[in-house]
Amino acid sequence: MARRKQAVTIKHVAADAGVSLQTVSRVINKEPNVRPEMMARVQESIARLGYVPSIAAQRMSGSRSYLIMALNDRERTIDGWKSREGTDWVDQMLFGGMLTCAEHGYRLIVELVDTHSDHIERELSAAIAALQPDGVLLTPPHSANPKIMALLDAAGIEQARIGSLMPGPGFRLTMGDDLAAAMATRHLVELGHRRIGFISGSLEYELSGWRVDGWRAAMAEAGLSTEGMLAQGDFSIESGRARAPE
């Protein structure tokens, strides 16, 4: 049986670079007060030896967990996966999050929670206790959920709220949904269309209203009526098919 290759540790890196364990730790954790030439020497040793920092060891040596948790709605995510008709925005968000986390020595982990459950606070509290994330990504409608925001704020966990402008803790991030809807509407107007309907998303999502606003603005700009042209959907392909004939 082949012998298992010995893992490269921080001690090997320190010996190869000719520095202390503390210096290697500071470089790995991107701490200040490390001279550029010392940082370069340690990074060269890390690359040469193929050293990969252990998250478990990093967690033991400091107050950070090096984990970012992303929350998404369980029912909608699973239904989309089963039907193979889910949108790819979640995949894109997770892919971008994983790449960015990796650049900074972090890992992204996804938790699915029941948005409408009476136990959502208990679910989230259990996940926080188990993972102890340094930060949380909140996707709609969680990003506008006062209970979730308050729970994370009380726990002292940073939160990035995607698709929400609701006042509250954390960093708020939007993607110009109103402008995108207006651009799409103007494109149809330029093609000569005059009866342009709009199927909105779930009212739970703030961005649903922003998109309707963008559509209305572009229609008004073109002097076109929106009377009877708005239908309520829920972001699913099925709801789009059902509402389109209306």
Mark whether 155 and 130 lie in a shared domain: yes
Q: Which backbone phi and psi does 85 adopt, to 5 degrees?
A: -120, 15
What is the predicted pLDDT for the residue at 175?
83
Q: Could you give the CA distance from residue 27 to residue 199 in angstroms, rounded to a whole number? A: 52
Mark whether 107 and 138 lie in a shared domain: yes
What is the predicted pLDDT for the residue at 1?
42
Residue 2 lies in a domain: no
Say how many domains are in the chain.
3
Label residue 125 by pLDDT band (50, 70, 90): confident
Mark whether 155 and 232 lie in a shared domain: no
Residue 61 lies in a domain: no
pLDDT higher than 90, residue 63: no
Residue 1 lies in a domain: no
Are 107 and 67 spatial neighbours (Cβ–Cβ below 8 Å)?
yes
Range of the domain at 166: 67-173
The CATH number assigned to the domain holding 40 equals 1.10.260.40
Percent of the chain whose predicted confidence (pLDDT) is above 90? 26
Q: How much is the average pLDDT of 45-68?
A: 73
Mark whether 163 and 184 lie in a shared domain: no
Residue 58 lies in a domain: no
Residue-wise pLDDT for 64-98, tens only, equals: 788 999 988 777 777 666 666 555 667 777 888 88
Residue-wise pLDDT for 141-191, tens only, equals: 888 888 889 999 998 999 999 888 888 898 898 888 999 999 999 999 999
Label residue 51 by pLDDT band (50, 70, 90): confident
Are 106 and 67 spatial neighbours (Cβ–Cβ below 8 Å)?
yes
Residue 5 lies in a domain: no
The DSSP-derived string for 69-82 is EEEEEHHHHHHHHH
pLDDT higher than 60, residue 2: no
Residue 36 lies in a domain: yes
Residue 213 lies in a domain: yes
The CATH number assigned to the domain holding 239 equals 3.40.50.2300
Q: Could you give the CA distance from residue 120 to residue 97 in angstroms, rounded to a whole number? A: 23
pLDDT higher than 90, residue 225: yes
Residue-wise pLDDT for 189-220, tens only, equals: 999 999 999 999 888 888 899 999 999 999 99
Residue-wise pLDDT for 12-48, tens only, equals: 888 988 988 888 878 877 777 888 888 899 889 888 8
Percent of the chain whose predicted confidence (pLDDT) is above 70? 86
What is the predicted pLDDT for the residue at 103?
83
Residue 60 lies in a domain: no
C-alpha separations of 167 from 18, 95, 146, 150, 164 in Å: 51, 28, 10, 12, 9
